[in-house]
Amino acid sequence: MSDLNVFYFFNNLAEQSRTFDALVIFLAGYFQYFLIAIFLLLLFFSGYSKPEKLRLFLVTIISITIARLGVVELIRFFYHRPRPFIAHQVRQLLSENDWSFPSGHSAFFFAMAMAIYFYNKKWGIGFFLAAIVMNISRIIAGVHYPTDIIGGAVIGMAVAYIVFYFAEKARPKEIIKTL
């Protein structure tokens, strides 16, 4: 099945119900702010020590920053894939102005989910599920192809892994023994 066929499978769910469209618009355009707030609240109210909270926060922030503002923008500088609504006849619920590949939302939130997963499996799984739902909504809304989402997810998870690896490698040995 081609990228365009999968895109149309999801995009054809749009404009069937006002309620569903409103949900898709919320998930694709506004849910991201709730996820960031949820992460910060979970971190603030968690039982982790201050150094553990700081480590989780920094690994997450560094991962999302490198993935979204570094790797995604570098790829988009060289590769210009137009949004689906520019290149094809689609059911468009949202509009975006920049290039389609890779998805910046996908890179950001999969980097976030992966970084969180390294420190807290339960939270990480929740954030992975939220990232999947958000990004499928962006396909339904007509702003991304499935490969945009997959590309962003791979970038986000790979960057988070690398950041986590170096953060753990740089951790002083005496701190590791106490945790």
* pLDDT tens-digit readout, 116-175: 999 999 999 999 999 999 999 999 999 999 999 999 999 999 999 999 999 988 876 655
Q: What is the pLDDT of residues 76-116, one digit of tens each?
A: 999 989 888 888 788 888 888 888 899 999 999 999 999 99
pLDDT at 18: 94
pLDDT at 176 over 60: no
Report angle CA 94, 28, 71 to the nearest 5 degrees: 95
pLDDT at 109: 98
Name which residue leads in pLDDT, 89 or 27.
27
- Quick one: how far is CA 161 from the chain centroid? 14
Q: Where are the beta strands (DSSP E) in the chain?
A: none
Q: Is 142 exposed, middle or buried (0-12, 13-18, 19+ CB in 10 A)?
A: buried
pLDDT at 1 over 80: no
Is the overall model pTM greater than 0.85, yes or no?
yes
> For 3-23, what is the mean pLDDT?
91
Judged by DSSP in three states, 2 sits in coil
> For 34-51, what is the mean pLDDT?
94
52 pLDDT band, cuts 50/70/90, is very high
Structure tokens at 173: 């040995």
pLDDT at 27: 96
Judged by DSSP in three states, 64 sits in helix
pLDDT at 177 over 70: no
